[in-house]
Amino acid sequence: MKGIFPVNKFRELRTPFYYYDTKVLRDTLTCIKTAAAHYANYHVHYAVKANANPKVLSIIRESGLGADCVSGGEIRAAIKAGFPAEKIVFAGVGKSDWEINLGLDYNIFCFNVESIPELEVINELAAAKGKVANVAFRINPNVGAHTHANITTGLAENKFGINMQDMDRVVDIALEMKNVKFLGLHFHIGSQILDMGDFVALCNRINELQEKLFARRIIVQLINVGGGLGINYDHPNRQPIPEFKNYFATYAEHLKLRPGQELHFELGRAVVGQCGSLITKVLYMKQGTNKKFAILDAGMTDLIRPALYQAYHKIENITSDEAIEAYDVVGPICESSDVFGKSIDLNKVKRGDLIALRSAGAYGEIMASGYNCRELPVGYTSDELV
């Protein structure tokens, strides 16, 4: 599928860089909106941590999605991209005072609170400004997810959220505070989840907690189930858009919402993952004792997921139609973990060939670093390269 890339335009650009196919992104956003529109009470926020490229953010904002932020910097990026403050939610286990004050100054929709000390600080800072902050409590549901251990967030042993047994106490504290308004419950069990059974388990746990609140005659305004829906890293061409219809339908079938309750989602990877590719150039071919190395000008500083999570990205030589050979595809960083893939079948590689690492729209450019004093990769959209 080399034809999906404007290779001649790529040759004019300095590598490595990120390339975002805006047709894939807009088609994905259309599918999200269409699938969610079947349910009048569904509200979708984009998780900015997945990709904060300004051009990508602007396209997402144009689609009407809200923004899920986990830092003051992300709030600023969302506001700059034009997201309405009333569609911004702020999560994160360690919100600093200046970040909370920033959210208060912008009058964002909701703070997803992860501890009693955080709740107390938000109440204090809101009081100083004469404001009332909307809050939802992130409850740790102790629900596992079939995904990598480093991106599982809903177990009791994880740092995130408030323990279930503390829910009633936190609600009681909030109801006594004058400068916070308790809106609902927030959950997030992990990322890159493809087994709908994990979301069913979350629904069952939320139903239990809702019954507990209902016994106290408390019906919250909203339930926020986070995100977590994964993408197909093995076959990005075959499945460029995730199964949003099944995802939303799973919650519709298994989550027992009360009349008038809103259901909020915070999708990240599923929105942007498949639209992005890291484009890099082959610097050298190196013959080892038992293998061949394709040494690229991109490394773990540009795409850290393979080194950090042992994550798989489909690798393609987009400038060669020669016979297939096996290579270890590696970067230039002075770390043994700077490896994108071992024994990867590629069309025969030579110096100067362009290589695409697919499905890199999420947690790619945003996680790039300047280690080894390297420059950060630039991000381009297909709109710019026509």
- Residues 65-86 have pLDDT tens digits of 999 999 999 999 999 999 999 9
Per-residue pLDDT tens digits for 223-233: 999 999 999 99
The per-residue pLDDT for 143 is 77
Q: How many CB atoms lie within 10 A of CB 233?
A: 18
For residue 117, give the nearest of 102, 99, 134, 97 by alpha carbon: 97
Rounded Cα distance, 72 and 333, in Å: 31
Rounded Cα distance, 72 and 51, in Å: 15
Per-residue pLDDT tens digits for 147-176: 445 444 444 456 668 998 999 999 999 999
Enumerate the domain spans of the chain: 2-16+274-381, 22-271
Rounded Cα distance, 273 and 24, in Å: 10
Q: How many CB atoms lie within 10 A of CB 58?
A: 14
Alpha-helical (H) ranges within the chain are: 7-10, 22-36, 54-62, 72-80, 97-106, 116-128, 167-176, 196-214, 244-254, 269-272, 305-309
For residue 209, give the nearest of 257, 244, 172, 176 by alpha carbon: 257
Per-residue pLDDT tens digits for 21-50: 999 999 999 999 999 999 999 999 999 999
On whether the CB atoms of residues 349 and 327 are closer than 8 A, the answer is yes
**Token pair in block for residue 198:** 């994990």
Give the chain's mean pLDDT.
Answer: 94
Phi and psi (nearest 5°) for 39?
A: -125, 110
Rounded Cα distance, 134 and 122, in Å: 10
For residue 298, give the nearest of 371, 236, 232 by alpha carbon: 371
Which DSSP string corresponds to 253-306? Answer: HH--PPTT-EEEEEE-HHHHGGGEEEEEEEEEEEE-SS-EEEEES--TTT--HH
The per-residue pLDDT for 295 is 98
The CATH code belonging to domain 2-16+274-381 is 2.40.37.10
pTM: 0.94
Per-residue pLDDT tens digits for 281-323: 999 999 989 999 999 999 999 999 999 999 999 999 999 999 9
CATH of 22-271, one of 3.40.640.10, 3.20.20.10, 3.60.21.10, 3.40.630.30: 3.20.20.10
Indicate the SS3 state at residue 213: helix
